[in-house]
């Protein structure tokens, strides 16, 4: 137990981040002194030295824990000493901490997503269509494959989705349940037809580009499906609006954000924070987030 905790988030850009509110709420509840800072580090190669120097501060004990978000969830992989089993299987890190003198890369996104997506009225048939193949998608794919889901995934960047598939073909036994599809309206329409869960893991539609939408224009949504958008700002994305208008239950990523934050906080402090208090803190900070309250 430390007398004061210096925590923070690595990412770029970070103007929209709710993480400081979540973790300051948790620190207050735990009765712990500390602060949660934002470390805005540009993508590699530009941010390489700055990223390495920040992780050295964690090694020296100047910081007690860091979260990692876009675009560094994979950038930090070569810089850690060990990966937890989940971070290794996912191939992405969102939580960093020291343990017995070694820098550990961990991932709380997968259990965070799984806890939250189960609040949707999901169907018996476990078939999902995932848009995007970045760090967030890796956590979602891992979580769903571990639960026996059949997944189709697509991304505008073929290299990114192929890298994801290659990674999971080496780390997950259930690779036959993962299928890469072409990023085209016809392929997405066909894949959506049998899907009972559609998940957007891309940043398309995130503040400030709130009019953007990753769903092909004019394409109908499948019946008997649910939509999960990992974006939480805005609380209701254009994709969620379209899905709701088509009668699909939808949910944004705020619940996932809260859950992964709480799990990270437990790694750093050993304290089990109240998820509802963390959520209340966010809604007080930004009343527009009330749409997302579970």
pTM of the shown model: 0.93
Pairing of strands 82-83, 33-40: unpaired
Determine the Cα–Cα distance for residues 54 and 39; give it in Å rounded to an integer.
9
pLDDT at position 220: 95
Beta sheet of 178-180, edge-to-edge order: 178-180, 150-154, 127-131, 197-200, 226-229, 250-251
Percent of the chain with pLDDT over 90: 88
Quick one: pLDDT at residue 291? Answer: 65
Residue-level pLDDT at 52: 98
Residue pLDDT, tens place only, 46-95: 999 999 999 999 999 999 999 999 899 999 999 999 999 999 999 999 99
Fold of 4-107+258-292: Rossmann fold (3.40.50)
4-107+258-292 shares its CATH topology with 121-248: yes
Q: Are 139 and 166 within 8 A, CB to CB?
A: no
pLDDT digits (tens, 9 = 90+) for 196-214: 999 999 999 998 899 999 9
pLDDT of the residue at 3: 87
Residue 143 has pLDDT above 60, yes or no: yes
Average pLDDT of the residues of the chain: 94
Residue 230 to residue 252: CA distance in whole angstroms: 6
The answer to whether 73 is a known catalytic residue is: yes
Mean pLDDT over residues 183-187, rounded? 94
Model confidence at 294: pLDDT above 60: no
- The catalytic position among 73, 119, 126, 284 is 73
- At 290, the pLDDT band (50, 70, 90 cuts) reads confident
Q: Where are the domains of the chain?
A: 4-107+258-292, 121-248
231-252 pLDDT, tens digit per residue, is: 998 999 999 999 999 999 999 9
pLDDT higher for 289 or 186? 186
3-state secondary structure of 78: helix
pLDDT of 15: 83
pLDDT attached to residue 59: 98
Q: What is the pLDDT of residue 292?
A: 54
Report yes or no: 132 and 157 within 8 Å, Cβ to Cβ.
Answer: no
Give residue 288's pLDDT band: very low, low, confident or very high (50, 70, 90): confident
132: left (phi over 0), alpha (psi -120 to 50) or beta: left
Are 253 and 232 contacting, i.e. CB atoms less than 8 angstroms apart? yes
Per DSSP, the three-state class of 149 is coil
| Cis ω before 45 (30° cut-off from 0) | yes
Q: Is the pLDDT of residue 144 over 80?
A: yes
- CATH 3.40.50.720 corresponds to the domain 121-248: yes
């Amino acid at each position: 137990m430390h007398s004061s905790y210096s925590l923070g988030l690595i990412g770029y850009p970070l103007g929209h981040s709710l993480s400081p509110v979540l973790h300051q709420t948790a620190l207050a509840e735990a009765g712990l002194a500390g602060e949660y800072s934002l470390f805005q580090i540009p993508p590699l190669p530009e941010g390489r030295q700055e990223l390495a120097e920040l992780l050295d501060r964690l090694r020296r004990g100047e910081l007690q824990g860091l979260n990692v978000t876009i675009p560094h969830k994979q950038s930090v992989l070569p810089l850690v000493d060990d990966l937890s089993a989940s971070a290794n299987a996912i191939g992405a890190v969102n939580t960093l901490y020291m343990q017995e003198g070694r820098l550990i890369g961990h991932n709380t996104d997968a259990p965070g997503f799984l806890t939250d997506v189960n609040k949707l009225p999901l169907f018996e048939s476990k078939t999902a269509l995932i848009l995007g193949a970045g760090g967030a998608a890796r956590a979602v794919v891992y979580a769903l494959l571990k639960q026996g889901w059949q997944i189709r995934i697509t991304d505008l960047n073929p290299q990114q989705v192929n890298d994801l598939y290659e990674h999971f073909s080496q780390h997950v036994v259930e690779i036959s349940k993962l299928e890469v599809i072409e990023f085209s309206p016809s392929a997405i329409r066909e894949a959506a037809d049998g899907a009972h869960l559609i998940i957007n893991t891309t940043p398309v539609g995130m503040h400030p580009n709130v009019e953007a939408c990753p769903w092909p224009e004019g394409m109908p949504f499948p019946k008997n499906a649910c939509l999960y958008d990992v974006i939480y700002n805005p609380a209701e994305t254009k994709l969620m609006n379209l899905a709701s208008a088509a009668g699909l239950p939808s949910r944004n990523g705020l619940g996932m954000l809260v859950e992964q934050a709480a799990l990270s906080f437990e790694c750093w402090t050993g304290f089990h924070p109240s998820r509802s208090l963390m959520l209340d803190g966010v809604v007080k900070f930004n009343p527009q987030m009330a749409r997302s309250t579970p």
